[in-house]
Amino acid sequence: MRFPRLPFRRALGVGLDMRYGDPHGFVRADGTGGGGEDVVAPRVRAFLTAERHRFRYAFFSFQPKDRALLDPARYAPIWDRLFADVPAFDAFALHHTQLNLATLDARVDRGRLLAFTNAMIERYDFRWVNEDVGIWSIDGAPLPYPLPPILTAEGLDACVRHVEQVQSALAAPLVLEFPGFSDGAHLVTGELDAYDFFRELALRTGAPVTLDTGHLLSYRWLRGHRGEALFDELDRLPLAHCFELHLSGCQVIGDRFADVHHGVLAPEQLALCARLLDRCPNARAVTYEDPKLSPDGALRPKARPGFARLQQIAGDWAARGQSDAGRPAA
């Protein structure tokens, strides 16, 4: 397994989705939707500055500005301003949205995309690149939310080929994220169990993985599990490959489990996080993903209790890591 090299043993980090025209991503410097340069949103800058002491690392999710061909020279001024505006964390990572690892299209040409990604890795010293194992676009047309992989032997073989291609070309380790399965937002095709599919993908490619608690719960919920059954069968996952956990905001709406990324952590996510940290011997990172902020950069009141509990869980886990620091790290 090609695990990222990090300046810490275990840590809590934050992840932000850098969309354009979004108050939690990039906005126009003049405060309108019109002219002016793209800059990091003031509330994001204020939050990261005020809360820097709580996080050891940060990841930023890459979103394309438009449908034009990706050109490092076109994006560098925007991302240079981002890194000039945010604090200097101990490590940074890139959450990709363009690799399209679960596509069945064998003709996909990622040459320009991988060159663009490697240019960003070199410029900003990204320690790893993460992406949900999903279908992000079809025939070049982006989807509003990635579809899960086709859960068949053919779908698994295609994923293995695409992952191996990207692994061999990237200048930083590729970390595979278990995809989302929110009811009403995804079409699920194939007879394989998603836990088994993801385990086989990790084993066949040797890739480190990210286990997103909301995504795992969404799959169990979609399969009809409730209560304690939501936490069953964790051993079917590639636990030894787990490098990172993600926690974003989730909630049950009616009888649907929704991965809404609103920053309010469900109790089930926190319980699952604690259980996974006890079972994943090589985990190094726990990420609070997509916090939603007030205009002054403060975490919304409803999100604060869950975030406080996450800090406690991650802090206890990091302390346990220090106590066995003599054990070789992954």
pLDDT tens digits, one per residue of 101-141: 999 998 899 999 999 999 999 999 999 999 999 999 988 88
What integer pLDDT is reported at residue 186 of this predicted model? 64
What integer pLDDT is reported at residue 330 of this predicted model? 38
Give pLDDT < 50 ranges for the chain. Answer: 33, 326, 328-330
Q: How far apart are CA 330 and CA 34, in angstroms?
A: 48
**What b-and-e string marks burial along 48-57, b requiring 16 or more CB atoms within 10 Å of the CB?**
beebeeebbb
What integer pLDDT is reported at residue 184 of this predicted model? 60
Q: Which residues contact 260 (CB under 8 A, 6 or more apart)?
A: 249, 250, 251
What integer pLDDT is reported at residue 20 of this predicted model? 94
CA distances (Å), origin 312, targets 198, 227, 231, 297, 315: 29, 23, 21, 22, 5
Q: How far apart are CA 313 and CA 24, in angstroms?
A: 26
Q: How far apart are CA 36 and CA 5, in angstroms?
A: 38
Q: How far apart are CA 174 and CA 202, in angstroms?
A: 11
What integer pLDDT is reported at residue 185 of this predicted model? 60
What integer pLDDT is reported at residue 326 of this predicted model? 47
Question: Please, are residues 247 and 270 in contact by the beta-carbon 8 Å criterion?
Answer: yes
Checking DSSP bridges between strand 26-28 and strand 38-40, what pairing results, if any? antiparallel
pTM for this entry: 0.94
Fold classification of 11-323 (topology level)? TIM Barrel (3.20.20)
Q: Could you tell me the two tokens for 328?
A: 């070789």
